[in-house]
Amino acid sequence: MQGVQMKRSWIGLCCLAWMLGGCASGGPLEAIGLRKPPPPVPESQQPPRNVVVHLHAAPRLNVDARGQPLALLVRIYKLRERGAFEQAPYAAFLSPQAERDALGADLVDVREVTLVPGQRLDVSDRLARDTPWLGVVALFHAPAEHGWRAAFAAADAEQAGVTVGLHACALTVGTGAAPAGAAVKPLSLVHCQ
């Protein structure tokens, strides 16, 4: 009789341990290192990046031959790669077809905004995780050489934002994400035509 009772106690103890083992799955096992955490979510499946581009137009924005300020068209590009964007000539950005030809498959989307002298505008956008670059082009009346575009890593832009100053014939980059590739010249080194 005592053997049967001991056998029942042993079976009951095993059942209890088995049931408690099921309760200990997940977090408690991970905490003591008995179970691996789930793998991280792939970059492509993470939510889109939220990016804010701060555009600050100077009072003497986009001056013409007489020195009169004009409105300025600014394009914000979502890009898969930045190489074609940085190598394209200014003329490639003057028409949508030339733009598509120059940027090819690197172009995901483009957004246009028009600024008037002295205006400040914050442009919020969402970039998919498979779109790692953000480009800004300012279509000046008489652009300074190499002073009309900038490219930014989307991850940096998401964390710090992007601040772009728009002047008589060139753009500058202020606080926030730093431009990639060829650095934007300081305004003191820019000479308008």
For 20-38, write each residue's pLDDT tens digit: 555 555 566 566 666 677 7
Q: Side chain identity at 155, as an amino acid letter?
A: A
Structure tokens at 107: 């172009």
- The mean of the pLDDT values for the chain is 86
How far CA 62 is from CA of 36, 56, 67, in Å, comes to 58, 13, 9
Q: What is the pTM of this model?
A: 0.77
Pair 144, 134: CB distance under 8 Å: no
- The model's pLDDT over 87-123, given as tens digits with 9 standing for 90+, comes to 999 999 999 999 999 999 999 999 999 999 999 999 9
Burial class (CB in 10 A: 0-12, 13-18, 19+), 104: exposed
